Structure 1
Amino acid sequence: MPQHAPSLPVCRACDGFPVVAITTGTRNRDGSRTTVRITCPDCKGTGRTRTAPALVRTGR
């Protein structure tokens, strides 16, 4: 069964993966890695982008 196409296009900057966890290389006291969560600045963590509105010329 085919999947439905999304109504908004996928963000070009993050390819639909808007939040990532990056390890800093250091470890916590329990031995786990310290991670930093980063969100995509273009789509602000949604994974989708809106198309730019079309220019409308008014006046003469």
Structure 2
Amino acid sequence: MPQHAQITRVCRDCDGFATAAITTGTRHRDGTRVTLRVACPACEGTGRTAPAGVVRAGR
């Protein structure tokens, strides 16, 4: 069955996976790991890019 074209533009840098949880190696008192949530700097954590006509240019 043919696939339909994707309407939303996915970020080229993160491929739509805008946030990642990174473990630091240390643990909390209850035994769970300490994690950091990091957002993609290109799309600012949305996973999508704005169309070229919408982006504002200038100072």
Same topology, TM > 0.5: yes
Structure 1 residues 29 and 8 mapped into 2: Cα distance closer, same or farther (>3 Å)? same
- Sequence identity, in percent? 64
Structure 1 match to 2:21: 21
Structure 2 match to 1:57: none
- Pairs aligned (count): 53
In the alignment, structure 1 residue 43 sits paired with structure 2 residue 29: no
Amino acid of the structure 2 residue aligned with 1:15:
D
SS of the residue aligned with 2:22? strand
Q: Larger Cα Rg: Structure 1 or Structure 2?
A: 1
Q: Deviations over 1:16-41 (max 9, x none)?
A: 00011000010111111000000111
Aligned CA RMSD, in angstroms, stands at 1.6
- Provide structure 1 residue ranges, at least 5 long, that are not aligned to the other structure: 54-60
- Provide structure 2 residue ranges, at least 5 long, that are not aligned to the other structure: 54-59
Alpha-carbon distance in structure 1 between the residues aligned to 2:18 and 2:27:
25
